[in-house]
Structure 1
């Protein structure tokens, strides 16, 4: 974490430790909403670690924005409070505070290699339940889904085996239980 000028992180007191939080934000699906949310983060120097957006209710014209961000407890509360005040936002849920969320990420990895490295890449993919979604004589494209830590570990293990490129979706998260996210 850097202490860049203009960043809220440079004003942290030494006794507050940064925390990573996943927030689920229900918004109207209309032009400019994502720009407003991103503008709130950038204008105040907050960082976004992961961001996913998708329409979730076509008939109601609602989208869910899932944001993973890091900050002190005070900064996290500021983010949540400021998000709740934006007009097109219906609700903000801090899934980390609720403690009952399911989080997943999807990544595609291109790995080039031959011989023993190719065999080892396939063995590791099997252990991580990664799928081969494209292949040739000199490369694979793997698809791996799971917790961010699992995706990170798979990427690290593929680096010495010929990792060429990675594409990641970002975190998608939803609260456990029968109740929908509050509107």
Structure 2
């Protein structure tokens, strides 16, 4: 008997939760306890009264495992709603990175040229370094960082993915 292997797919989840101490640790603990990896995690308050937060989680799993992840998240008491933005269809994902590059002469000129191509903004500059701010999809950020390695990459700080579904409906 041949068992069919399910393909691993990247999914972006939007989890609406009560904004209370420990909820992020409980969600991360649920992933850890079951051996699921979190590739990106962002959290922000989304209500005027500071009572509700949105957690955006990027993870990769087979369809069967993804169903389990969503069901387990849904069972956590302070969770209001879990939406698999990937399964729902079109959505917008963005990430922000601060990229520090050091160099002189041609390397400095090349860093500025590449930053222009990637629409990265200079947010800090010294005689020997730049800090660029670049936003976009994760692939764009990855490629920009890869190119900056060639001209003097020093350090990278990334926000993680934020995402929202397209259209008039909330996720």
When the two structures are superposed, what TM-score results if normalisation uses the length of structure 1?
A: 0.90
- Structure 2 residue aligned with 1:54, among 44, 50, 67? 44
Q: Give 1:31 deviation, angstroms.
A: 0.4
The residue that corresponds to 2:103 in the other structure is 113
Question: Helix, strand or coil for the counterpart of 1:69?
Answer: strand
**SS of alignment partner, residue 125 of structure 1:** helix
Aligned residues: 169
1:15 offset after TM fit, Å? 2.1
- Give the whole-Å Cα distance in 2 for the aligned partners of 1:97 and 1:179: 15
Unaligned residue ranges in structure 2 (runs of 5+): none
**2:83 aligned residue:** 93
Match of residue 8 from structure 1: none
The correspondence for 2:72, drawn from 65, 71, 82, is 82
1:5 equivalent in structure 2: none
Q: 1:178 to 1:60 in 2, by over 3 A?
A: farther
After TM superposition, give the deviation of residue 58 of structure 1 in Å: 2.8
- Give the TM-score normalised by structure 2: 0.96
In the TM superposition, what are the counterparts of 1:108-147 in structure 2 within 5 Å?
Answer: 108-147=98-137
Structure 1 stretches lacking a partner, 5+ long = 1-12
| Equivalent-residue separation in structure 2 for 1:58 and 1:52 (angstroms) | 19
Q: What is the root-mean-square deviation in Å for CA atoms of aligned residues? A: 1.1
- Whether 2:16 is the aligned partner of 1:16: answer no
